[in-house]
Amino acid sequence: MRPSRWRRRGSRRRSFSTPVGAVASSPIASLPMDATAAEALGLMLELGVHHVPVTDAGDVRAIVTDTDLLALERRSVLRLRHDLAVAPTVEDAVAAGTRIPEALADLVTASMDPLAVGHLAGVLRDTLTARLVELETARLGPSPCPFAWITLGSQARYEQGIETDQDHAIVTAPERPGEGEAFAADLGEAVTAAIEATGIPRCRAGVVAANEAWRGTLEDWTARFASWARDPDPWAFGRAAIALDHRVLVGPEDVAHAFVGPVRALGANPMVQRRLARWVIDQRPPRGFLRSAIIDGRGASDVVFDVKRQGIAIVTALARVGALRAGVTDNRTGARLRAAARTGLLEPADAAGLEEVFGVLWQVRLDHQAAQVRAGLLPDDQVDPRTLGPLARQALKEAFRRIESAQQVLGLELGIR
């Protein structure tokens, strides 16, 4: 069971007569007996805990610890998260951040489930970002007003590859006009630059807190989203769509709601849902392979296959539309697909098929990126079909077919050709 909110109660400056309930971590996060070691590792890293109860039919049967997982050759990831979390300086945090790609490549080589690797990638980059926000806030001095740092896109979904870019925002809660603007600008640029120094580039669309358009108050965000949603320019609408995958990383809940509230209102807008569906339907997955080339959705051949743009992004968008239509706020693609099936927006078999497709695409992506890291190259999403074996090709052909089928079903439901 994954708690919606988790906190560790401090035990400092307390006597041994203090009730244990006052210092215990709560609520309890547990895993079933059939959960994998990778899931246990992901939960520990996400919550920053060292022990997880293992349950059977609601009863605690065992405890798995981080020490148990060290024996499974995951020590580098546990150690890396610790180094990121306690880095004494920005320079130390950046140095630790540069180790993330190699650590993720090791997990791929160790045959960890690809979606578990994507989850851990998000956890590690969460830890890096949160520590940088903390360090830069200490350097800049106290913020003149409360603020929250919001992570967006794949990091918000815990679905990041070895290669990724930055997507984030800042929301402020000033008592007077203009209060905190300079602080937020300095913090946004400092943290964005530090993350960039680890090898994670800024979003090419400018979706970073260093950009003034991605900082603001409740009134600013409400006005922006309303404007972007109405704008016929696909580029403007794309900026609004990016924010639909969001998660509060640092900051008080009441301040974060200044961002989350307008975003949820945006996602509930039927016009927005229809525009998102139109985008999904317009994307063309490849049709198959021809010797050393890939046949794209329009029948032309290409020498590389962009596994993210031509596959993963389409499944992610299909799941996002399903979640918005079902009123589900979960960010993760698999959970969104399952929710769409529960509410009748997707046939259970279709949802399960798309989730399987998602895993296949992620395996191809991470195998490709891990090989690049081992070769000393910068990872990307451009897969050469010649590197794929016959089984991988066959799996991808089936994946493309299932994606196209799901697009057709969505188009028929909404009357979109």
Instruction: Please list, in sequence order, all residues whose beta carbon lies within 8 angstroms of the beta carbon of residue 44, skipping any fewer than 6 positions away.
Output: 50, 52, 66, 69, 78
CATH topology classification for 94-268: Beta Polymerase; domain 2 (3.30.460)
**What is the CATH architecture assignment of 276-412?**
Up-down Bundle (1.20)
Rounded distance between C-alpha atoms, residue 373 and residue 390, angstroms: 24
Instruction: Please list, in sequence order, all residues whose beta carbon lies within 8 angstroms of the beta carbon of residue 71, skipping any fewer than 6 positions away.
Output: none
Predicted pLDDT of residue 71: 54
* Residue-by-residue pLDDT tens, the chain, 417 positions: 454 444 444 445 566 677 776 777 777 788 888 888 778 877 877 777 878 888 887 778 888 887 676 655 545 788 899 999 999 999 999 999 999 999 999 999 988 999 999 999 999 999 999 999 999 999 999 999 999 999 999 999 999 999 999 999 999 999 999 999 999 999 999 999 999 999 999 999 899 999 999 999 989 998 988 888 888 887 777 777 888 999 999 999 888 888 888 888 888 888 888 989 999 999 889 888 877 778 876 666 778 889 999 999 999 999 999 999 888 888 899 999 999 998 888 889 999 999 999 999 999 999 999 999 999 999 999 999 888 988 999 999 999 999 999 999 988 888 887
E strands present in 239-355:
246-250, 288-290, 293-295, 301-302, 305-306
Alpha-helical (H) ranges within 57-113 are 66-70, 75-85, 90-97, 100-109
Which tokens sit at 399?
């994946």
| Residues facing 7 on adjacent strands | 26
Q: Which of 160, 156, 130 is nearest to 246 (CA)?
A: 156
Rounded distance between C-alpha atoms, residue 318 and residue 310, angstroms: 13
Is residue 125 within 8 A of residue 141, CB to CB? The reply is no
Rounded distance between C-alpha atoms, residue 31 and residue 55, angstroms: 6
Determine whether domain 1-72 maps to CATH 3.10.580.10: yes
From residue 264, give the alpha-carbon distance in Å to each of 24, 150, 179, 247, 273.
33, 14, 26, 12, 12
Rounded distance between C-alpha atoms, residue 192 and residue 170, angstroms: 12
Chain center to CA of 91: 25
From residue 417, give the alpha-carbon distance in Å to each of 192, 280, 281, 351.
41, 12, 8, 22
Rounded distance between C-alpha atoms, residue 244 and residue 250, angstroms: 18
Predicted pLDDT of residue 60: 83
Which tokens sit at 169?
């925002």
Predicted pLDDT of residue 74: 46
Is residue 332 within 8 A of residue 378, CB to CB? The reply is no
For the chain, the domains span 1-72, 94-268, 276-412
The residue type of 206 is: G
What pTM was estimated for this model as a whole?
0.82
Is residue 160 within 8 A of residue 118, CB to CB? The reply is yes
